[in-house]
Amino acid sequence: MQERMKTFDMKHVPQNIPDTILQKMVRVAYHGFNFVTGYHHADPPTSAIGYRLIILESVAGVPGMLGGMFRHFRSLRQLERDHGFIFTLIEEAENERMHLIVCMSFFEAGPVTRFIVQAGQLALTPFLAGLYVVRPQLLHRFVGYLEETAVHTYTNIVEMTSTPGTQLHTAWKDTPAPQAAIDYWQLPADAMWVDCLKRMLADESHHRDVNHAMASMSEAQLFGEDNPFIHEHKADYEAGVRRHTEALLKKTLGDLDLHTIRSKDVLASKEAGVSKDGAWSG
């Protein structure tokens, strides 16, 4: 987790004009979003964080689903396998949606926030779909730049929450993690809200790296070679199977102990032995 926090200042350097345009668009939107939500890095108020995270995560859940959908339909049209990229994109969308669910269990979204979320989805969906249609790498590059701002924001929020004297530390220093977060990330039962923020930071930094990597792939690599991140899904699946098996065994042993019949009667005595013909006697 700490390693991920150290990467908050990692930025992709635009390699061409489309990259530069997409980066500038994200930077302008970022600073405008700061102004609208009242967010500032020095000592942000909790109200600004609530608006910010709900809107940010609702937007971040769109591109992964779009990318996965486009690749799914392409696989059907071309009668070809996808090489595992769909898994990564759909998992990204699901992960961002879970971020939103965790935030919704912590913050209250008013009518204005809900309107902005709906308007943002309505405006961004055709824009992001257009990027993918023109060139899939453009969508991934845009998401990579978007995730850079998310990592920057989450790092600042975690640092402020951990710094005595700040508004976030005063409000959240003793705040427990929502149950939804504990279940999703398999956190300890006594996990705190700042632990959730750290997990979301780690997720966003991973999405940043994955999308920048995909944006740098050639068409042949993006559609003709295996997904370089497929091993993560295998590891997650195997970990899930282990957790399920351990829980099932624990329950089975508990049920066995509960329903075991115990008796004080001796089941065998010292006189018991084997007869000459080999049969047991007692």
pLDDT for res 184: 93
The rounded distance, in Å, linking the Cα atoms of 47 and 40 is: 12
Give the pLDDT of residue 146: 94
Say if residue 230 is exposed, middle or buried (CB neighbours under 10 Å; 0-12, 13-18, 19+). middle
Residue-level pLDDT at 35:
83
What is the token pair recorded at 109? 């979204």
Residue range 123-136, pLDDT digits in tens: 999 999 999 999 99
What pLDDT does 181 receive?
93
174, 162 Cβ separation under 8 angstroms: no
Q: Give the model's pLDDT for residue 69.
A: 96
The packing angle between helices 46-78 and 111-134, to 10°, is: 30
Core vs surface per residue 51-88: b (16+ CB within 10 A) or e: bbbbbbbbbbbbbbbbbbbbbeeebeeeeeebbbbbbb
pLDDT of residue 206: 93
Stated pTM of the model = 0.82
**Domain spans of the chain?**
12-230
* pLDDT tens, residue order, the chain (282 aa): 555 556 666 788 889 999 999 999 999 988 888 888 788 888 888 888 888 889 889 999 999 999 999 999 999 999 999 999 999 999 999 999 999 999 988 888 888 888 988 998 899 999 999 999 999 999 999 999 999 999 999 999 999 999 999 999 999 988 999 999 999 999 999 999 999 999 999 999 999 999 999 999 999 999 998 988 887 767 776 776 777 787 777 777 776 767 666 666 665 555 555 555 555 544
User: Quick one: pLDDT at residue 232?
Assistant: 77
**What integer pLDDT is reported at residue 249 of this predicted model?**
79
Q: Which residues pair with 273 in a beta bridge?
A: 281
Q: What CATH number does the domain located at 12-230 have?
A: 1.20.1260.140
DSSP state letters, the chain: -HHHHTTTT--PPP-SHHHHHHHHHHHHHHHHHHHHHT--SSS--HHHHHHHHHHHHHHHHHHHHHHHHHHHHHHHHHT---TTHHHHHHHHHHHHHHHHHHHHTTS---HHHHHHHHHHHHHHHHHHHHHHHH-HHHHHHHHHHHHHHHHHHHHHHHHHHTSTTSHHHHHHTTPBPPHHHHHHHT--TT-BHHHHHHHHHHHHHHHHHHHHHHHTS-HHHHHHS--TTHHHHHHHHHHHHHHHHHHHHHHHHHHHHHH----SS-S--TT-EE-TTS-EE-
